[in-house]
Structures are given as C-alpha cells and as structure tokens.
Chain A
Amino acid sequence: MNMMYEFRLAFLQLTARASGSLISLLLFGIGIAMISFLILASKQIDDQVKRNLAGIDLVAGAKGSPLQLILSSVMHIDYPTGNISLAEADQLSRHPMIRETIPVALGDNHMGFRIVGTTLSYATLYEASLSEGVWHDKVLEVSLGYQAAKRTGLSLGDTFTGVHGFQTTGHSHDDHEYTVTGIMKRTGLVIDNLILTSVESVWKVHDQEYCDDHDHQHDHHHDHDHDHDHDCSDHHHDHHSGEYSIHHHNSGQNESMTEHHDHHHADMLGDIQKRVEAGEDISAEEMAIFQQHSTGVVSTPTTNDPEITALLIMYRGPAAAIQLPRHINENTNMQAASPALELHRLLSLLGYGFRTLKVLAWIIIIISAINVFIHLFNSLRQGLFELALMRVSGAGKGTIFVVVLLQGVFLAMGGWILGLFLSRGIWLVLPSLQVLPSAGLPGFHSAELLLLLYATIAGALAAAIPASMAYNTDVHFTLKNNGRI
C-alpha cells in the first residue's frame, strides 16, 4: 500500500465525522489567524514607520510629549503639541549643523485628510510625484495625496473648504476655498493621506478672517491669488495643547479689529460685561459669547509673529545628533525630538501588546490541539471496528498509527490554511472600517511557514495518544465484541 492511500484513508475518516472535524478546523483556524494577523500587522507597522521616517533626523516643535510631536508632525496621527514661532524656527534653520529644514503647519482637515502647510521639499522627502496636474504654487492651491484624492473624490480644479481641527466635523472655514491643482501618485506612505499646500495658505485661512483689511474681505473667494499680508496687525491663532475643536475666530481682544461683526461682538461684550457686573440675567447665547471672548483675552498672547507647527530637520553630519537636540532644548522655546528614537520607543511599547496577544493566540492553538485530541479519541472509540476492518484487510499496526496521526496533522494544516485566509480577509476588510490604512493584499511571511511547522507539531502531538491507542487495538477482542470496547 502506498503512502497516498494512507492520506486518503485519513482524509475520509475526517470527512466521515465532518461536524467534529469542522469544529477542530475552525478552532485551529482562529488561533492561526490571530497570530498571522499579528505578524502582518507588526511587519506593516514596522515597515510603515521606517519608510515614513524618510530621512528626517530631528523634529523641532512646541514643548510637550516628544512622541506626540513625532506622531503629529511626521506620522500625522496625533494632535500637535502646539505651535512654534516662525522667527525662532528660521533662526534655527541657519544653524551650521543643519543641512535642510522643512516647515510643517497643521490646523485643518478636509473629510479627515489633513491639510499640511509646507514647502515642496516635503513631497521630495517622500519621493512623491504627480499623476495629474501641477504642483500647488499660489496661496490656497493644494496638491492631493493619492488616498486623499481617491476618498474625497476631488479632481483637478475642484474647490473645497477646510474644517478646523482633525475631526471631520467642526467649524468650517467657509470664507476660504482651496483649489486642487495637482494629484500625487501612490507612494504607500503617509503623504498619500495628506493635502499639501503652502504654509501661507494655512496662515491665510487662520488669520485673514479677522486681520485683513476690508478690501480683502470683499474679494471673491476663488480669487485669493495675492500674497498674504503678514504685517497686518496680526495676532496669531493660538493652538496650544491641541485644542482645535473650539475655535475662537471672534476673540475680539484686538481693539483695531475692523470687521463689522466683530465690532458688533465687541459692543455686545461690553454690554454683557456691564450686565454681569450688575448681577443681571443674561441669555445662554450671550453667556457663550462672553466666555468665548473672555477666554480669548486670557489665553491668546498678542504677538505679531507668525507660527508654524513644527520644523523637520535634516543634519549636515553625524555630530549634529549629539549637539543639536540639546541646543534646541536648552536655548530655545522649542523641544527637539528624534523620530527614529521616539518611534523605536513606540514600537517597543506596541511589542508588549503584540506579545500579549500572541500568548493568547497560542492558548487558543493549545485548546485547538486538545480539541483535536478529544475529537480523534471519540472517533476512535466509535470507529474501533473500522480500525479492526483495516487490520483484517491487511493493514499493519504502523499503517493504523499513521492514519490516525495524519488526521491530527491534516486538521492542523487545514486550520493553518484557513487561518491564513482569515487573517488576509480581516486585513482587507479593516481599511474599509477605517481602522488601518489600506495596504493592499499582504504577501506571505516566512514566520507564517514557521507557524505551519508549530501547528503541525501541535496537531501531531494531539493525535499521538489516539494513534498509539489505535496501534495497540486488539483486533480479536474488537471483532468478538462487535466493535464495542
């Protein structure tokens, strides 16, 4: 008898008890799927993080959590730590140890895709190129990342407005419309999910609403092609501590405010203040206006200095890695954070989580193996006469052992295949649930082959006891008792 027939016998014995076999298969599949998914996810995250570093050596930003600074200004997933002064950033840029800097100004999004005010060097950093149109040039022109264009459905020449903060809903900057001039090719990097514009555009959207002159206010929206006027009595928006959802456009602490509705508010404010002092009742709306304005007065420093969110820094030489971060942290109002260092820290934190989940998955696999044992043990008790029949028909003890052992191995291997399909199924479904960025169908990892080996060993171990019981079956006794033990 050739080995192929033993495979066939094992397979037929499993299908003869289909429901029990299916449960064993599913259990194995779930355990394998979990581990396989974790392998895919950790590889993906690792890969994404490393590729998104894109040669950025250091990031200078507002003081706060260095990890948050990296996540917000490099990975674009967290809220910024705050803003830094452009003048200070400029001064830092001239440091002899610095080869190149790229400014990043955040603040708004469109349908969840961040609008990033930066220079075209940012696109060069990720080797992004255009598939359509031309790079944005003038103020309020934008170039869309691949995913941003695909998901928003925007095409060349379309206009849209930004929503303040990083949530899809919130205050909309309806006065300023961006115009799409270019759409980028897919890079598989974070830039795919970004909307790039000039820093000036971000300034304009956030400052112009209350510091431009009257003429400008009456300009047609689609026509903002003049340079931004920085020397207007420019108080800057304060984005400290990531508070983006409450927007204080009308914080009329600036007495030179020329906008008519701000005058109106200012008058109202004075009125409300008088009434509050007099102990009179005020309406909820008036209360809101009052609070908005009074907080504005307290928290917003009056400064003529434009701000950006962070400065991406490329070193001139290795010595900078030692001196520059200390220089920034000690001599400026900014903090320096190394993307490589912070992301390594993050990955090792994630590693703990992955390890815990892996232990859980292995527990499921062990339970699957126990289930295989129970399934085969029961099959054996019920199908003892089949074994006797095989022996009577000429099969040796060894053949019987192999046939039972193979059943355990088949269940494990079947579970492995099922698990791999499951994990890829989850992988493909997740982006549509917006849990993970779309990454396409993942390839096959060598770690998964190792997983097959472990699963097979688990299946074989689970089958070993039933197999040796089958090996030792007393044919005479079984036949004499009509297949009953």
Chain B
Amino acid sequence: MVAVNNLRYHYPDGKTFIFNDLVCAAGEKMLVLGVSGSGKTSLLHLIAGILRPATGSIRINNTEITALSARTMDRFRGQNIGMIFQQHYFFHGMDVMENLVAAQKLSGSESDRQHLDNLMHEFGIFKLKNSKPTALSQGEQQRFSIARALANKPLLVLADEPTSSLDDRNCETFIDMIMKSTSSNKTGWVIASHDNRLKEHFDHVYGL
C-alpha cells in the first residue's frame, strides 16, 4: 500500500539523506527505529508530502504522490494520511468534538459525526467530547490524537515519536490501542521512534 523506492532528500544546508526502500501493506504496522537526527521525521514528512524528495518514488495506494501538485498533495494528505505527533497539537478555541470535525472539514470531506462518535467511544474520550483539549490528561490527549488521526478513515497513519513523552503505563496503553484498534483494520501504520519499549511489539522494523 505504501511503497518507497530510491528515495533521496537534500536538506537546504546541502546534507543528503538516502533512504532504504520501504513497503508497508494495508493493516500492517511498521516501526521506524533510529536515533535522533537519523532522518525519521524527514522520512515521515516525505511520505506525508510535507517535504518533497530530490529523487525517488513514493506510491500510496497506486498514487505517485511526488507527482502531485502542492494543492492536490494537501488535499490527498488530508483525506488519506493521519498524523500523530510527539506533542499534542490541537485548536485551542475548539472542544474535542470540534477538533475532530475540523480534521474532517479541513480535508475537504463532509463531517461524519457517527464515525467520530464511534472513535471517541473506542478511545474512551466520548464523555470528554465537549471539553477543551487543554483540560484533558496526558493519556486522554494521546487517545484524542489517535482518534483525530483516524477521523478521515485514512489509508495510512504516520506517528512521529508518539510515546516519547509517555510513562510506561500510558505507553503500554498506546501500543494496546493501536494494535487492537478496529477502526484501523485496513490502515497501515508507520511509527517513527527511538523508544526501545516499542521494539518487541512490531514485526516489521525499518532501521535508519
């Protein structure tokens, strides 16, 4: 479903990254392991179309995203790729529900509140739907972030150091959630981390 071939990226300062080829099938969960500065974030951003490669190909579900225009890429990303970050980002002026609706609306889709309700139930944040995200605990914020990444039923979720700020218990919960997640049965996961706690849970590990 995601196939990366001969990918090369030039940093503005002249440094060049050459990435190994990567393939992640639908429903597969892949861990990208590497120390900081090894290019994990850059790889994720290349796959998300936030960065553009110097050479090489990135195919997502038979779409060659390196060939898409900037505007088409933004829209493609919104509709097909969910993202989770190390920090929990959200719109401060909106409550949990509105934040999830925003993820759908900004991608150009109509809002599907039934799906969002299901997601919030699944991740145990339904009761918090009218709270401001700032009022949520660390663990709740993490679950909110996962729910948002899945708001548009994406083909692919890209997570950048999702567990680095979590304690062991919350880290376990996170792994549990994404492993058992029923809403993401067909979603491929690419998780970039230097967190060795994750290593044992993944079959596919991509080294940088």
- Which residues of A are in contact with B by a Cβ distance under 8 Å? 1, 5, 9, 12-16, 383, 385-386, 388-399, 475-476, 479-480, 482-483
B94 proximity list for chain A (CB < 8 A) = 12
B105 proximity list for chain A (CB < 8 A) = 1, 5
Q: A16 near B87 (CB under 8 angstroms)?
A: no
B77 proximity list for chain A (CB < 8 A) = 392, 394
Which 7 residue pairs are nearest across A and B when measured between Cβ atoms? A394-B78, A16-B93, A394-B107, A12-B93, A393-B106, A16-B92, A396-B74
> Could you name 9 residue pairs across A and B whose Cβ atoms are closer than 8 Å?
A12-B91, A16-B91, A16-B92, A391-B74, A393-B103, A394-B75, A480-B41, A480-B45, A482-B86
Known: A15-B93, A476-B51. A482 touches B70 (CB 8 A): no
The interface residues of chain A, by DSSP majority, are classed as helix
Known: A393-B78, A475-B50. 19 other contacts (CB 8 A): A1-B105, A5-B105, A5-B106, A9-B102, A12-B93, A13-B91, A15-B93, A388-B89, A389-B90, A390-B106, A391-B74, A394-B74, A394-B78, A395-B74, A395-B106, A396-B75, A397-B70, A475-B45, A476-B42
A376 vs B46: C-alpha distance when bound (angstroms): 30
Provide the B75-86 mask, 1 if CB < 8 A to any CB of A, else 0: 101110001011
Q: B180 an interface residue at 8 Å Cβ cutoff? A: no
Q: B51 near A392 (CB under 8 angstroms)?
A: no
B160 proximity list for chain A (CB < 8 A) = 479
A5 proximity list for chain B (CB < 8 A) = 105-106
Shortest CB-to-CB span from A2 to chain B, Å, is 9
Q: B93 near A479 (CB under 8 angstroms)?
A: no
A77 vs B78: C-alpha distance when bound (angstroms): 71
Interface size on B, residues (CB 8 A): 31
A477 vs B157: C-alpha distance when bound (angstroms): 20
Nearest B residue to A395, CB-CB: B106
A383 proximity list for chain B (CB < 8 A) = 92
B124 proximity list for chain A (CB < 8 A) = none
Q: B169 an interface residue at 8 Å Cβ cutoff? A: no
Q: A392 near B50 (CB under 8 angstroms)?
A: yes
Q: A389 near B89 (CB under 8 angstroms)?
A: yes
Q: Which listed residue (B42, B45, B78, B98) contacts A395, Cβ 8 A?
A: B78
A395 vs B105: C-alpha distance when bound (angstroms): 9
Q: B127 an interface residue at 8 Å Cβ cutoff? A: no
A303 vs B207: C-alpha distance when bound (angstroms): 120
Shortest CB-to-CB span from A385 to chain B, Å, is 5
Nearest A residue to B42, CB-CB: A476
Known: A16-B93, A386-B92. A393 touches B107 (CB 8 A): yes
Q: B108 an interface residue at 8 Å Cβ cutoff? A: yes
Q: B15 an interface residue at 8 Å Cβ cutoff? A: no
A303 vs B83: C-alpha distance when bound (angstroms): 103
Q: A479 near B45 (CB under 8 angstroms)?
A: yes
Shortest CB-to-CB span from A414 to chain B, Å, is 16
B106 proximity list for chain A (CB < 8 A) = 1, 5, 390, 393-395, 399
A16 vs B106: C-alpha distance when bound (angstroms): 18
Nearest A residue to B101, CB-CB: A5
Q: B71 near A396 (CB under 8 angstroms)?
A: yes
Q: A394 near B108 (CB under 8 angstroms)?
A: yes
Q: B48 an interface residue at 8 Å Cβ cutoff? A: yes
Provide the B140-171 mask, 1 if CB < 8 A to any CB of A, else 0: 00000000000000000000100000000000
A483 vs B91: C-alpha distance when bound (angstroms): 13
A9 vs B92: C-alpha distance when bound (angstroms): 11
Nearest A residue to B99, CB-CB: A389
Q: A386 near B91 (CB under 8 angstroms)?
A: yes
Known: A1-B106, A476-B51, A479-B45. A396 touches B91 (CB 8 A): no
Q: B50 near A476 (CB under 8 angstroms)?
A: yes
A226 vs B75: C-alpha distance when bound (angstroms): 97
A392 vs B70: C-alpha distance when bound (angstroms): 12
Provide the B99-130 mask, 1 if CB < 8 A to any CB of A, else 0: 00011011110000000000000000000000
Nearest A residue to B104, CB-CB: A393
